[in-house]
Amino acid sequence: MRMLHTMLRVTELERSIDFYTQVLGMKLLRRKDYPDGKFTLAFLGYGPESDTAVLELTHNWGVDEYELGNAYGHIAIEVDDVYKAAEQVQAAGGNVTRPPGPMKHGDTILAFVEDPDGYKIELLGPK
């Protein structure tokens, strides 16, 4: 078994694709419209789907808002330097919601950013 992807519902697909590709450096791997179901799927990642888990963005046509609920936590992305990555995200127009620094009750350096739909993304340095 292996993890294939994580799916997020997004309200503006192009805006979300731009965030994940331009701000977080992912590549758009594939995209397909499903007119009968009135939705589009876009798969993004840092490597091919055959080798790495990817992110699936689902855009349900005509849906302008989602409630994130209180069960969703975050997506974690490993970066070489958390401080530099957070600075780059902010410079690219991304929202850094928790500046880089040590985690509470530990010494792991982390930061949190938010995508255009409010999903949290944790930036972590290599272990």
Domain boundaries, the chain: 5-60, 75-124
Q: What is the pLDDT of residues 13-58, one digit of tens each?
A: 999 999 999 999 999 999 999 999 999 999 999 999 999 999 999 9
**Cβ-proximal residues to 10 (8 Å cutoff; 6+ apart), any chain:** 16, 57, 58, 59, 116, 117
Give the residue among 124, 45, 25, 18 at the shortest CA–CA distance from 112.
124
- Residue 122 appears among annotated catalytic residues: yes
pLDDT in the model for residue 61: 97
Q: What is the pLDDT of residues 72-87, one digit of tens each?
A: 999 999 999 999 999 9
**What number is the average pLDDT over the span 97-111?**
93
Give the separation between CA 110 and CA 124, rounded to whole angstroms. Answer: 5
pLDDT in the model for residue 18: 98
pLDDT in the model for residue 9: 97
Class of domain 5-60: alpha beta
pLDDT in the model for residue 91: 97
* Residue 70 in this model has a pLDDT that exceeds 90: no
With bands split at pLDDT 50, 70 and 90, how would you rate the model's confidence at 1? confident
The catalytically annotated residue of 49, 87, 114, 122 is: 122
Buried-state track 74-84, b at ≥16 Cβ within 10 A, e below 16: eeebebeebee
Mean of pLDDT over the chain: 95
pLDDT in the model for residue 81: 97
Class of domain 75-124: alpha beta
